[in-house]
């Protein structure tokens, strides 16, 4: 029988992943708040990378406040997307989306100009075409989860993508 590994060695050999958290914010008529990063070609949801030791829901709140100046509460967890290692990124990326509520389209937005060129409230269909193709399934899943009261899990491992409703008692694949 092998002796158990010391805790530090055991934890060091576990797989790791990068983690991000975004907020789904809509207007009363269902338009989605998206932001235009100046360091990427595509739009995205407000949010960003979770810092070491930071709970994802707090990272979502922090990133939304930093990027668009909104003091939101990260509400219900809507969707999780797993993206496998890709290109120069050697680890999987787990992206979480939280429901950050509904706001009036005339709510004051204070844009973080160091990282963002703009923001807009657009229809869900338009948002899905403006965001990066890796973000679109997560956005669609989050919108569906908000409406249905479920949580969705999206697996994005090139070349195919699947979405699963992970609500209790559900085992469907969309």
- Choose among 79, 84, 108: nearest CA to 95: 79
pLDDT at 87: 87
Q: Is the pLDDT of residue 170 over 70?
A: no
pLDDT at 171: 31
Is residue 82 within 8 Å of residue 155, measured between CB atoms?
Answer: yes
pLDDT in tens, 31-90: 999 999 999 999 999 999 999 999 999 999 999 999 999 999 999 999 999 998 988 989
- How far, CA to CA in Å, does 144 sit from each of 97, 118, 156, 174? 12, 26, 17, 11
Q: Is the pLDDT of residue 162 over 80?
A: no
DSSP string, 47-70: EEEPPTT--HHHHHHHHHHHHH--
Q: Is the pLDDT of residue 126 over 50?
A: yes
pLDDT in tens, 133-148: 989 999 999 999 999 9
CATH class of 16-165: alpha beta
Is residue 121 within 8 Å of residue 33, measured between CB atoms?
Answer: yes
Q: Is the pLDDT of residue 103 over 60?
A: yes
Q: Is the pLDDT of residue 6 over 80?
A: yes
Mean pLDDT across the chain = 90
User: 102 vs 12, which has greater pLDDT?
Assistant: 102
User: How far is it, in rounded angstroms, from Cα 115 to Cα 118?
Assistant: 9
User: How far is it, in rounded angstroms, from Cα 66 to Cα 112?
Assistant: 6
Between vectors from CA 106 to CA 32 and to CA 144, what angle results, nearest 5°?
A: 20
Task: Supply the pTM of this predicted model.
Answer: 0.87
pLDDT at 89: 87
Where do the structural domains in the chain lie, given as residue ranges? 16-165
For 82, what's the count of Cα atoms within 13 Å in the CB-facing half-sphere? 11
Helix (H) / strand (E) element for 148: namely helix 136-148
Calculate the CA dihedral of residues 6, 85, 133, 103 and round it to 10 degrees: 20
Residue carrying the six token digits 């002796």 = 3
pLDDT at 131: 97
């Amino acid at each position: 029988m092998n002796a158990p590994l010391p805790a530090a060695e055991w934890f060091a050999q576990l797989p790791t992943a990068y983690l991000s958290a975004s907020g789904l914010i809509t207007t009363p008529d269902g338009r989605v708040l998206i932001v235009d990063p100046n360091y990427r070609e595509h739009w995205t949801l407000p949010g960003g990378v979770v810092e070491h030791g930071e709970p994802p829901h707090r990272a979502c709140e922090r990133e939304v406040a930093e990027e668009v100046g909104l003091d939101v509460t990260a509400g219900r967890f809507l969707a999780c997307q797993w993206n496998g290692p890709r290109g120069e990124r050697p680890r999987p990326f787990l992206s979480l989306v939280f429901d950050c509520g509904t706001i009036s389209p005339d709510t004051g937005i204070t844009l973080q100009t160091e990282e963002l060129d703009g923001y807009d409230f657009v229809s869900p269909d338009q948002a899905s075409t403006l965001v990066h193709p890796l973000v679109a399934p997560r956005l669609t899943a989050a919108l569906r989860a908000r409406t249905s009261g479920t949580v969705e899990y999206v697996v994005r491992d090139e070349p195919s993508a699947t979405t699963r409703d992970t609500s209790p008692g559900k085992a469907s694949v969309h």
